[in-house]
Structure 1
């Protein structure tokens, strides 16, 4: 009877992007489990039982980071920074979400070199490597060495959105039409380049949701103050799920000017609601955003404003565009993603 091990200890931060990936992929893998397969999940202590009683659980502890001599037929780690590698014979599948760490200017070259060595060590142990976009697969092939016998496969992330908005009132409710961004508030997210939209369109607010305890968040507030638009910049910090879905459903447009993304989950989430997406043209974002999203060809204020104005005009004049966004987003469904992984698991187990 084949035994599958899934490392989902990143559900310790259940509302993070990776926490949600672990949660929804795990549920769908259980639902699609082929006859005869056993599944064991590595989970934080407060998530034991989250995938139901038909599977087994191991709790993630500090000690188990060091000593985890478990043996399974297939061992899948869902992100590149895993601390849980098989100590005994198991067929290891290694998922790489992105190599952004190797491009961050604030990280020293020596630290990048050490991290690159760790990534390579995990690749060398793997029977298969997966990435969450074709862009990341190309980046991995360019920066690391994939052994000739090791398959490298891009399997997208899925997107899970509610069929109807939660009844819980949102904790953030702008007083007027608003634009929306959600994600980590870090320099590579490039959000400050969107502030000229508040100058050019004085009826709009801009909601920037996500952890903002770093210096970049304060720099954005100071820039908005200098521009005279600080009263229309809302930075509520992390938000709950009900508020997130309400903001997607009620925003005028979604902005995602990030310079580095392995996938860009919020882009697809916004499209599920039929919203116009204004995105960076860099890394994985054109691959994920598809042909109908609007892309900033530069982040000069004039280009940002012109791109937004023209995109909103096109969106309002084309009554089919919202439905095209919704239909396009359906290619990122968890049932399809889980089916691809089960095909891979069975292939690796049989080799």
Structure 2
């Protein structure tokens, strides 16, 4: 462990706690954020300690201690922390890394910060689930001194839909580039024609129904749908089977090497999601210079900018026309792939996590 410099030792130690909740896998958006945040925080920790006497701790399941590296202090997450946390550890700043972390900060936590990724529940059907999710967000924000969001859209949503009136910062998250990752062809038919790729957990909020309708309508187009194995993906597969949609290949639990192959070999990437706090897969596809097709809803126009094409209708014939016109435009402009790649590279994890630590210092009145 690096020791503080003499100058840093003259200053009071600053303790920052990161609450990762029940993080287990990076195979979804929130898991990817926690994975990248922990990895880069571990890289930054020696310099923070040496220069500013800042000590970084992370609350995490005991079996995952050490997963981000050896420069962080790991503290055990206990089930009872959802009800009470009697730890007497002092933290100058406590950061709940996402709104689904239900574990409470210890009583001696100073500034309490939380990142709110989305209010997607507000865009679903009204009922007990929506009310429960809204109440959970309100409880989190009631004990939060400073909120952060991954997009201006989510910041506006929080201001409009919750009782929170405190300070709020927008820090765009990153998107990993798999461009230089070793590629591995996933289990696809040998003679598969040129295909369009979609990657998500295939929930209704991802507009999977519109994509199934598109595939049923456009029998001449080939699709590959990828995502984590789960009830939602299995339901989409069952729908395709019952409807006899034969131009979709479903691939579950893809590795990074397999995703890299699919991004690199697809004709275009489709992501007509109905609600997103940010949207990582479109940027991952953009790192390969691929044409990306998005909905105009929630945060996606903020993420895609003018480097993406947009669906103005989810009618299958309209979606097919948008894809065909966008691909023609992409093919006719030799500069477009490099422009798309530059756009994607402006969202990077190092900048994201460094911005969070700069924000911590600003909140605590430390020089940056």
TM above 0.5, yes or no, is yes
Offset of 1:28 from its aligned partner? 1.7
Structural mapping, 1:271-282, within 5 Å: 271-282=286-297
- C-alpha contact 1:207 1:234 (8 A) present in aligned 2: yes
1:207 match: 224
Q: Which residue, 171, 188, 198 being the options, matches 1:155?
A: 171
Q: Which residue, 187, 190, 197 being the options, matches 1:180?
A: 197
Gaps of 5+ in 2: 1-12
Offset of 1:167 from its aligned partner? 5.4
1:104 match: 124
1:75 match: 94
Offset of 1:10 from its aligned partner? 4.1
Supply the distance in 2 between the matched residues of 1:45 and 1:104 (Cα, whole angstroms): 35
2:313 match: 298
Supply the distance in 2 between the matched residues of 1:237 and 1:88 (Cα, whole angstroms): 42
Supply the distance in 2 between the matched residues of 1:201 and 1:121 (Cα, whole angstroms): 46
1:166 match: 182
1:264 match: 279
2:157 match: 139
Is 1:55 matched up with 2:67? Answer: no
Is 1:236 matched up with 2:251? Answer: yes
- C-alpha contact 1:178 1:204 (8 A) present in aligned 2: yes
TM-score, structure 2 as length reference: 0.86
Is 1:94 matched up with 2:109? Answer: no
Q: Could you say if the C-alpha distance between residues 82 and 143 of structure 1 is closer, same or farther in structure 2, counting changes exceeding 3 Å?
A: same
TM-score, structure 1 as length reference: 0.90
- C-alpha contact 1:4 1:40 (8 A) present in aligned 2: yes
- C-alpha contact 2:20 2:101 (8 A) present in aligned 1: no
Supply the distance in 2 between the matched residues of 1:37 and 1:339 (Cα, whole angstroms): 14
- C-alpha contact 2:307 2:343 (8 A) present in aligned 1: no
CA RMSD of aligned residues (A): 2.2
Offset of 1:295 from its aligned partner? 0.3
2:354 match: 339
1:260-297 C-alpha deviation (Å, 9 max, x unpaired): 11101111111011110011011000000111211010
1:204-229 C-alpha deviation (Å, 9 max, x unpaired): 3211112452374156315641xxxx
Structural mapping, 1:35-50, within 5 Å: 35=51, 36-50=53-67
Q: Could you say if the C-alpha distance between residues 173 and 128 of structure 1 is closer, same or farther in structure 2, counting changes exceeding 3 Å?
A: farther
